[in-house]
Amino acid sequence: MPIIMLFKDIVQQLLNVLKMLMYLLNGKKHISNKNIFIMLFYEIFSRAMELCFALFNSNNIRTMISEMLTFLGTCEQEFKADCTSNMFLAMDR
C-alpha cells in the first residue's frame, strides 16, 4: 500500500474515533474524560506505529529495528506483541 494511501486511511480512522468520542460526550453514554483520553491516546499511538512500519525499507531497516527495540523497552504492554510481530514481518520482506 502506498504511504499516502496509508496516511489517508489513518487520518480517516482517527476522524472516526473523534466522531465516536463526540457522540459519547453528547450525553448519549456516560464516560469519563480520563477514559476518553486513554482511548484516543491508544488509537493515535497504534496508527503512528502502523505508519512507522509502513516506512520500513531495505535502506533503513537496521536503524528502524534498532529504534523499535528501544521502544519495546519502554512501551506499554498492549503494544509489545504488535510491535514484535511487525518487526519480524518487516525483516522478512
* pLDDT one-digit tens code per residue, 44-89: 778 888 888 888 888 888 888 888 888 888 887 888 888 899 888 8
Verify that 50 and 81 share a domain, yes or no.
no
Verify that 61 and 90 share a domain, yes or no.
yes
Could you tell me which residue, 69 or 20, shows the higher pLDDT?
Answer: 69
Least Cα distance to 15 among 38, 37, 44 occurs for 44
Domain count for the chain: 2
Verify that 62 and 33 share a domain, yes or no.
no
Least Cα distance to 21 among 6, 5, 42, 7 occurs for 42
Average pLDDT, the chain: 77
Verify that 36 and 76 share a domain, yes or no.
no
How many CB atoms are closer than 10 A to CB 30? 7
The whole domain housing 34 covers 1-55
Verify that 26 and 46 share a domain, yes or no.
yes
Q: How far is CA 2 from the centre of its chain?
A: 17
Verify that 22 and 62 share a domain, yes or no.
no
For residue 13, what pLDDT band results from cuts at 50, 70 and 90?
confident
Verify that 40 and 85 share a domain, yes or no.
no
Tell me if 55 sits within 8 A of 32, measured CB to CB.
no
Strands (E), the chain: none
